[in-house]
Chains A and B, each alone.
Chain A
Amino acid sequence: MTHVLATYNIKGGVGKTSAAVNLAYLAASDGARTLLWDLDPQGASTYLLRIKPKVKGGARKLVHGRTDAARHIKGTDYERLDLLPADFSYRHMDLALDATKRPTRRLSRVLGPLRVDYDYIILDCPPSISLVSESVFRAADALLIPLIPATLSARTVEQIERVVEKDARLLTFFSMADGRKRMHREVMQDMASQYPEMLHTAVPFAADVERMGAHRMVLEEFSPRGRAAKAYRQLWQEVRERLN
């Protein structure tokens, strides 16, 4: 059975891409055949994995089913981890989806034939509430939601809960958490009691995560002993347990 996961948040800069890339790497190194689809036109995941952000025919052909997604997949530097790259045309993916029948089912249809080849498909989503995100909610078995521990975090969770499908599983976790900040500590404590179903692992705010862009590598490659790498390992373990 293929698990489709999506890293999602309405807000940008909360650690979606770092989570998508590092968790996809951990899934692959566990032996699972893993595909990461970089849906964000900025192409940060694609950049980190040293792949050219180009999909011939762009978003339109892909979502209209006029091109086979498998043809655009590239193997990464890591065994069993493949990438469906970003393309700048993804900035118009909403329009491309809107021009189709049943637009929210489109991404599921694109993923359909790929399920045979992968154990995990991870979608790295752009920050917004749009047709793309609605389509992602429909396609994903679970949404991985990174939250910066701030006063508006609870409000973000409520907003997401309102828009996602009733049966979609939300796996919320703290990201860029800074234990030195009193407010972070308090928010994390409050939210843990308000949302007991939240994942227990918090990914710390760490320079290592920022350095991923300079190294163009996953954390396990250049800083496996760092706090952030350790947190992602724990997070992946927790996600796996929840999925099973």
Chain B
Amino acid sequence: MGKETVQYEVSRDLSFSDLARALAPSFGLLAEVEEPGERVFYDTFDGRLHRAGMWLVHGDGRFALGNGDGSEVAGLEWPKAPREVLAAALPGGRLREALVALTDVRPAARLAHVRVRQRSLRVLDQRRKTVVRLRLEQPVLAGPTNAELTPRLVAAGITGYDKALKEVRRLLALEPALTEANVSLQDEAVALCGHAPGGVSSNVDVTFRADDPATLVAAKIGQRLLEVIELNLPGALAGRDSECLHDARVAIRRTRALQRALRDSFPAEPLRQFRAEFRWLQQVTGASRDLDVYLLEFEAFRSTLPGRQQEGLERLLELLGERRARERRRMARALRSSRAQDALGGWAELLGDLPTTHGTEAAGPVSEVVGARIRRVFRTMVAAGGGIDDASAPTALHDLRKQGKELRYLLEFFTSLYPAEAIKPIVRTLKALQDTLGRFQDRQIQAELVHSLGEEVRSLPDGACALMAMGQLVERLDDQQAQARAEFGARFAEFASSRHHALVHEVFA
């Protein structure tokens, strides 16, 4: 099904006759009616479609999802271009299926709206069969500016006529007004609208050398994390994309791990204050995130109950939605407060003031500082996890999960300092352990939340039915939590194996 598409930038007015002349005598050219068109381009905040080499566009009353070679893989009639597209909310079919796999829970937001004056042309072979489609486009950005975009010629291959496209490309390469485009129309329009064509990354991706001073590294990583927080906060406050809040929280938690791991790189008293402030930032965003996770998983939970009980959960779903709205308002107040602004602004200033040149040995070379911290966190985890048995309180597992997060962040921050092959098995088993601990904790929080809504539901007119369904739901959550607990022993043993002990002491010496 490969139907290659090539885009050319057009440097001057290119008429039908110019093109006909360029392609003659091998091919004929047939012009179709000139039509105005509209295209609205979409992608997720973190550019998942772009990263996968795909595109989602709305035009002519339908969505089209396409791949890198320009061919459409799924389409759906949809009269008006919406502000955003949440894959799970689309009607069942190929587009929904493909989009869920690509974007998961993230909505694809409208990034650019382009108006195009376009003329389609058919390239014909000797038997008058269409073998390549051409489209001359004169695009402008829709909106008050009407900014002009680069005029383009798009050559689209037709299944089974690859040789013809090759020949057409050869002939078009000889036309001085055409150059193959390096940037697609979508990327050009998206950039002109002030967005990053590949989306906003929340990865840390900071590079440094093993002998760089720890202060320099602390400043670099801290600044990148702060950038991630600030990029994601508007989305978290708007509440339309649950993953913005998630990514902001991860960056906050990573900042706290950095503050602990490289504590000697920061001035002691301000650091104490900022650690408290970042702990607060994490607390004020926690309830909203817990409810997001609950609601994202709600349909999966509901599907485990028998049909009639599923209906009973409708009221619970409404209550959870109301509670999330309340928590979001509370979170928004906190994040917009001067306390939050001071915390983030002050932390930015502190990072900017850190001595970052070689020869400032306040905290020593980063490799020494970090190696010692990783060894220590690993040892602490092994000791804490080894002490967990059937009688241990759930808090013991929660605390272990927190330590696991710190270890994972440290391994991610400083991965460039260590041989990838050596740390891979540690990361792999740590991830598996964290997944189990995460499920254990999430199910507990979720069951407690259902309990906490019991009184409210009981007082409702249809409360009895809902309560029965909620009882069943809590049972399912308890079962899943028990299952995670049963998995814990094996997961922990893999992580804390003697081989990993030896590896940690050797690699992080």
Contacts and interface: CB of A to CB of B under 8 A. Distances in A.
A75 B94 contact: no
Contacts of A32: 75
B159 A1 contact: no
The main secondary structure of chain A at its interface with chain B is loop
B158 A75 contact: yes
Contact of B77 (A31, A82, A117): A31
B119 interface: no
B133 interface: yes
B298 interface: no
A70 B77 contact: no
B128 A50 contact: yes
Nearest to A70: B1
Interface in A32-65: 32-33, 50-51
B159 A119 contact: no
Contacts of B64: 31
Contacts of B93: 1
A211 interface: no
Contacts of B72: 33, 80
Nearest to B3: A75
Contacts of A73: 1, 159-160
Contacts of B75: 31-33
Interface residues of B, number: 20
A31 B75 CA distance: 7
A152 to B, nearest CB: 39
B379 interface: no
B127 interface: yes
Interface string B1-45: 101000000000000000000000000000000000000000000
A79 interface: yes
A51 B158 CA distance: 12
A30 interface: yes
B159 A74 contact: yes
A117 B98 CA distance: 12
B489 to A, nearest CB: 43
B308 interface: no
Nearest to A32: B75
B1 A77 contact: no
B67 to A, nearest CB: 12
B122 A82 contact: no
Contact of B129 (A1, A70, A77, A80): A77
A50 B127 contact: yes
Interface residues of A, number: 19
Contacts of B161: 74-75
B62 interface: yes
Contacts of B3: 75
B130 interface: yes
Interface in B59-112: 62, 64, 72, 75-77, 93-94
B1 A119 contact: no
Interface string A17-32: 0000000000000111
Contacts of A82: 159
A129 to B, nearest CB: 32
A79 B132 CA distance: 11
B160 to A, nearest CB: 4
Contacts of B94: 1, 119
A31 B161 CA distance: 22
Contacts of A74: 158-161
Interface in B150-203: 158-161
B151 to A, nearest CB: 22
Nearest to A71: B160
A210 B172 CA distance: 39
A193 B357 CA distance: 92
A80 B64 CA distance: 12
A10 to B, nearest CB: 32
A30 B93 CA distance: 15
Given A74-B159, A74-B160, A75-B3, A31 B127 contact: no
A30 B75 CA distance: 10
Contacts of B77: 30-31
Interface in B133-163: 133, 158-161
A50 B133 contact: no
Nearest to A82: B159
A140 B159 CA distance: 24
A210 to B, nearest CB: 20
Nearest to A118: B1
A236 B40 CA distance: 29
A47 to B, nearest CB: 11
Interface string A65-91: 000001011111101101000000000
Contacts of B62: 31
Contacts of B159: 73-75, 82
A119 B93 CA distance: 10
Nearest to A78: B130
Contacts of A31: 62, 64, 75-77
A1 B96 CA distance: 11
Contacts of B76: 31
A119 B76 CA distance: 11
Given A31-B77, A33-B72, A72-B160, 10 more contacts: A31-B64, A31-B75, A73-B1, A74-B160, A74-B161, A76-B130, A77-B122, A77-B129, A80-B72, A117-B1
30 contacts: A1-B94, A30-B77, A31-B62, A31-B64, A31-B75, A31-B76, A32-B75, A33-B72, A33-B75, A50-B127, A50-B128, A70-B1, A72-B160, A73-B159, A73-B160, A74-B158, A74-B159, A74-B160, A74-B161, A75-B3, A75-B130, A75-B158, A75-B159, A75-B160, A75-B161, A76-B130, A77-B122, A80-B72, A82-B159, A117-B1
The 7 closest A-B pairs by CB, nearest first: A75-B158, A74-B160, A75-B159, A77-B130, A50-B129, A31-B75, A31-B62
